[in-house]
Structure 1
Amino acid sequence: MVSVANYLVTSLPQTASAQDWIEKTLNGGKSPVNKINFPEFQSGTLDSLVQESEELAKIDGQLQGSVSKVVDILSSVTENASNTRIVGSKSATAYLESFQWNTTKYRLDKPIKDLVSLISNEAFTLDNDVRSAYQSYQTAKSNFQAADRKKNGDLSIKSLHEIVRPEQFVLDSEHLTTVLIAVPKTLIGDFEKTYETLTQFVIPRSAEVIATDAEYSLYTVTLFKKYQQEFNTAAREHKWHPRTDFVYSEETLNNLRKEFDLTKATESKSKNDLIRLAKTAYSDIFAAWFHIKAIRIYVESVLRYGLPPHFDYFLIKFPDARTIPKARKDLIEKFGYLGGDGFSNQSSLHEYASLVDPDYEPFVLYEVDLV
């Protein structure tokens, strides 16, 4: 999957006066920076924030996975999935870079716990709906492919009802029957030399070609019913393809035509329904994901920097994702002091250094990868 854009989103105390340095120095000044506005939430107690922090980390990852899954689905059923990455009326990148909290949908007088529950439940319901619709589409697609193989496959698998005619068969005989054999063209010589001696009581010179395609010739062979199963088994050993599935019937022919038309219509409708739902789901789940991300950043900022919430939030864009690791390192070197002595002076911790979480950042910093 090709990445569309990559971002770092960070929260820093306003006392850090970070904007000028991030805009002019980070990544050589080549990374566009958006200062974004997150609202102030109903914080609750410190214990509740710690609990919400753990829950938000889990939901953040789950919703990112949901967005990726929807993109995968859209990529599998549309020629240009990038055209489907619309959030509201904007591209996903434009939505991020001009993010505004949806106060109409998610009222800020609600506690953080209630907001998280409301946002995530709506998103997970949509995620389940998309997965269900995708499964329905896969079933419809499989059914249509099976019907299409019967109609348009090669002579070893396709329906033969539109190819054969009643006069090509021995019908209503007490002892004789006619079998159909699809023979690979590379094995025709072997077939014509040996079919009469494959079992007892094969009618000499009864083999007739009644159809051909790029890979096979379809033969009829007449023999005694008693030896039909034995003949078919021997034919398979020669790598020929007995069409034991075929029984001549006008009713079957009509049913096959109806099956093809019905499965084609069902597959087409399922696909269109899935695309419409997945586009809507991408928009709504993506928006939910970043609203959860906003709450998570706020909660982590309060836990790191305390109250009142005097924080600046920056969304930093990296057109080349390969520059992100160095940018993270430079940010940490510049603002690592915010983590306190325990972080900035790890070299002096000696035997205690291994206890420091290697993934811990000295300030609030997350990567946002748009796929």
Structure 2
Amino acid sequence: MEPLAKYFALSLPQSVNAQEWLENELNGGKVPLYNLKVPDFQIGTLDSLVQESEELGKLDSQLAGSVAKIVEILESVTETSSARSVQGRDVLDYLENFNWNSSKYRLGKSIIDLVRLISNEALTLDGDVRAAYQSYQNAKSNFLAADRKRNGDLSIKSLHEIVKPEHFVLDSENLTSVLVAVPKNLVKEFKDSYETITQFVIPRSAIEVAHDQEYFLYSVTLFKKYEQDFINQAREQKWHPRTDFVYSEENLNNLRKEFDLSKATEVKSKNDLIRLTKTAYSEIFAALIHIKVIRVYVESVLRYGLPPQFDYYLVKFDRQNLKNFTKAKKELLAKFGYLGGHGFSNNQSLHEYASLVDTEYEPFVLYEINIV
């Protein structure tokens, strides 16, 4: 799915004075630039930051996948692209004017505690969405089955709105009535032979109950002793005995209720899912950005050292200039690649060391944010 927008989350040492160049030179000064507000966190030891860095990378990817799945579910259920909202604000506005939620995630906590708190809430909500989606899929499947019974042809559809008491022999010890759906091209053959395909079929007992474009539905009366033999012979003739239908008022009432109940269940589970996915998008996206901010901070400390003196930016690419995304990244690497040492210099060749370099590793702190 094409993103609504893409961003670079970028961290650079204050000493490089990057803002003027980013505003005026990056992509010819044609990409919007925002300051990303990253608070100072309780750092702990550098060893703990290294461990957190790896965990943050996995969690970042997991939450981004969760957000994408929620959007996929929401669009499949609503069949439309609705405006993305995060905590009552447009999603782009939320990101571009991000403020750390200090009332929910107190900055006095350690980074590991913040990560655990944010991730547990988000992943629990992700599980709730997946369970609700499965529940909706089951309800939808049940409704479609009921709908096929209601709107299919006479060989498969529910007959509760079609049959009437006069189409059956009721309360007889010896006689029974069998419903048979006969293809239109076999009606004449049926009328000529139904009385003789087995013993003790009541002559001239076939009653036309209904017909559609494909079938005529008949009720045939015979002795109960020969019911199964009649059914077997009817199938041999390529008729369709409706053995799934037994006439009783209780059955009829249950069948009448089935469609309405399955429809009501499908509608309720769908509405519940839509409400939950909208809430989940808001909360999990907010969690994702909080994790992204922690990740930018942790990686900045590991890359640039202490004390934390970094500038943080968001570089925006909307749908009109997504084509400039790769070009801008190359310009950033050309301008700030020296921060990663000679291995990232345009004038240096990695030669035999190339395989040792992480191809996803950037010479400065740079992460992508896709808004879907």
TM-score calculated relative to the size of structure 2? 0.89
Quote the residue 1:126 is aligned against: 125
Within 5 Å, which residues of 2 pair with 1:320-339?
A: 320=319, 321-339=322-340
Kept in 1, the 8 Å contact 2:150–2:157? The answer is yes
d(CA) in 1 for partners of 2:228, 2:22: 80
Partner secondary structure for residue 82 of structure 2: helix
Once the two structures are superposed, what CA deviation does each residue of 1:293-319 show, in whole Å capped at 9, x if it has no partner?
Answer: 000011111111111212111111112
> Structure 1 residue 218 and structure 2 residue 217: aligned?
yes
Change (3 A) 1:95 1:185: farther
2:72 aligned partner, one-letter code: D
- The Cα RMSD (Å) is 2.6
Change (3 A) 1:113 1:183: same
Within 5 Å, which residues of 2 pair with 1:333-348?
A: 333-344=334-345, 348=349
d(CA) in 2 for partners of 1:73, 1:44: 40
Change (3 A) 1:211 1:48: same
d(CA) in 1 for partners of 2:303, 2:95: 24
Change (3 A) 1:176 1:114: same
**TM-fit CA distance, 1:163:** 1.0
Change (3 A) 1:193 1:305: farther
> Structure 1 residue 89 and structure 2 residue 88: aligned?
yes
Change (3 A) 1:198 1:324: farther
| Structure 1 residues not aligned, in runs of 5+ | none
Quote the residue 1:360 is aligned against: 361
Once the two structures are superposed, what CA deviation does each residue of 1:31-74 show, in whole Å capped at 9, x if it has no partner?
Answer: 21112111111111110000000110111111111111221221
Quote the residue 1:32 is aligned against: 32
Change (3 A) 1:201 1:326: farther
**TM-fit CA distance, 1:199:** 5.3
Taking only the aligned residue pairs, the percentage that are identical comes to 69
Partner secondary structure for residue 160 of structure 2: coil
> Structure 1 residue 245 and structure 2 residue 244: aligned?
yes
d(CA) in 2 for partners of 1:345, 1:354: 17
Change (3 A) 1:367 1:208: same
Partner secondary structure for residue 12 of structure 2: strand
d(CA) in 2 for partners of 1:297, 1:340: 20
**TM-fit CA distance, 1:334:** 1.7
Quote the residue 1:16 is aligned against: 16
Quote the residue 1:46 is aligned against: 46
d(CA) in 1 for partners of 2:85, 2:152: 39
2:309 aligned partner, one-letter code: H
TM-score calculated relative to the size of structure 1? 0.89
Kept in 1, the 8 Å contact 2:334–2:346? The answer is no
Aligned residues: 370
**TM-fit CA distance, 1:219:** 2.3
d(CA) in 2 for partners of 1:171, 1:225: 12
Partner secondary structure for residue 304 of structure 1: helix
Within 5 Å, which residues of 2 pair with 1:1-371?
A: 1-83=1-83, 85-173=84-172, 176-185=175-184, 188=187, 206-233=205-232, 235-236=234-235, 240-320=239-319, 321-344=322-345, 348-371=349-372
Kept in 1, the 8 Å contact 2:160–2:256? The answer is no
| Structure 2 residues not aligned, in runs of 5+ | none
**TM-fit CA distance, 1:124:** 1.1
Partner secondary structure for residue 318 of structure 1: strand
**TM-fit CA distance, 1:331:** 1.5
